[in-house]
């Protein structure tokens, strides 16, 4: 009996670790699948369908969101003690909401619909704003240097990330033109290099 208890005590941490690892792998798989999901309609078009879907699955909508389904808005006291928030519309047309806790599973949903944008910038922003560690918490298709650059530059809002990346790309182009001007003279700096010039 004593030996059995000791064996169970040794196996218990291993079992809990395997459950944690399986849950993490499942979360990473779901995140990858959701990151690849694309809809060709605008956030304004799909948002009522999303709200209806969440309501039908038992996730309580917050604030004025129930009015989109013909239900009464949440009261002042309910809003005060709510763990979620109603739909917020950003300047670029993207939308975000968080539901209250669903009663049975004690989970809530955070839904975000991004406006039409460059896929690379959106992916860089998701990498930068993810609480998980790249390569360990979720798969990343970029090299480590680019992933580190994305985490450094592409944080915050997607529109801000796009502005920062565009500014850095412009500065990199200017630096390349300056290097060509210094190395080959003024004329080639404004035009692409040709094989007939020296050095080619």
**pLDDT, tens only, 60-116:** 888 888 888 888 888 888 888 888 888 888 877 788 888 888 777 778 888 888 776
Q: Please tell me whether residues 74 and 132 are part of one structural domain.
A: no
Residue 42 clears pLDDT 90, i.e. is over it:
no
Domain finish residue from 116, 137, 160: 116
Show the domain range for 129. Answer: 118-200
Residues 145-181 have pLDDT tens digits of: 888 888 888 888 777 888 888 899 899 999 998 888 8
Higher pLDDT residue, 103 or 48?
Answer: 48
Phi, psi of 87 (to 5 degrees): -60, 130
Cβ-Cβ contacts under 8 Å for 197 (sequence gap 6 or more): 184, 188
Q: Give the count of domains, the chain.
A: 3
User: Is residue 76 located within the same domain as residue 111?
Assistant: yes
For residues 112 and 129, state if they share a domain: no
Residues 51, 13 within the same domain = no
Buried b (16+ CB within 10 A) or exposed e, 78-100: eeeebebbbbeeeeeebbbbbbb
User: Are residues 132 and 175 located together in one domain of the fold?
Assistant: yes
């Amino acid at each position: 009996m004593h030996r059995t208890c000791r064996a169970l005590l040794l196996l218990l941490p291993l079992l809990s670790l395997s459950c944690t690892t399986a849950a993490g792998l499942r979360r990473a798989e779901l995140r990858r699948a959701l990151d690849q999901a694309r809809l060709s309609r605008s956030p304004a078009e799909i948002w009522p369908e999303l709200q209806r879907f969440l309501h039908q699955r038992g996730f309580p909508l917050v604030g004025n969101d129930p009015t989109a389904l013909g239900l009464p808005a949440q009261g002042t006291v309910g809003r005060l003690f709510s763990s979620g928030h109603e739909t917020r519309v950003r300047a670029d047309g993207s939308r975000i909401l968080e539901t209250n806790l669903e009663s049975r599973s004690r989970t809530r949903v955070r839904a975000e619909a991004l406006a039409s944008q460059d896929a690379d910038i959106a992916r860089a922003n998701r990498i930068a704003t993810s609480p998980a560690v790249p390569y360990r918490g979720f798969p990343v298709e970029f090299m480590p240097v680019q992933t580190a650059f994305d985490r450094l530059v592409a944080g915050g809002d997607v529109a801000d990330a796009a502005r920062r990346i565009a500014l850095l790309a412009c500065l990199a182009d200017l630096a390349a033109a300056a290097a060509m001007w210094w190395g080959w003279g003024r004329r080639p700096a404004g035009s692409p290099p040709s094989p007939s010039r020296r050095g080619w």
